[in-house]
Amino acid sequence: MMNRKGQGALEYLLLIGGALIVVAVV
């Protein structure tokens, strides 16, 4: 269960990182 929670947090971070990159490019 801890691994699942960690994976969710990582996916959330990746999503935010991707959004920041898009904003930086645009």
Segment 1-23, tens digit of pLDDT: 556 677 788 899 999 999 999 99
Q: What is the pLDDT of residue 3?
A: 62
In a 13 Å sphere around the CA of 5, the CA atoms on its Cβ side amount to 2
Q: Rounded to the nearest 10 degrees, how much is the dihedral formed by the CA atoms of 5, 6, 12, 18?
A: -160
What pLDDT score was predicted for residue 9? 85
Block residue for tokens 């930086």: 24
Q: How far apart, in whole angstroms, are the C-alpha atoms of residue 14 and residue 25?
A: 16
**pLDDT value at position 22?**
93
Q: What is the pLDDT of residue 20?
A: 94
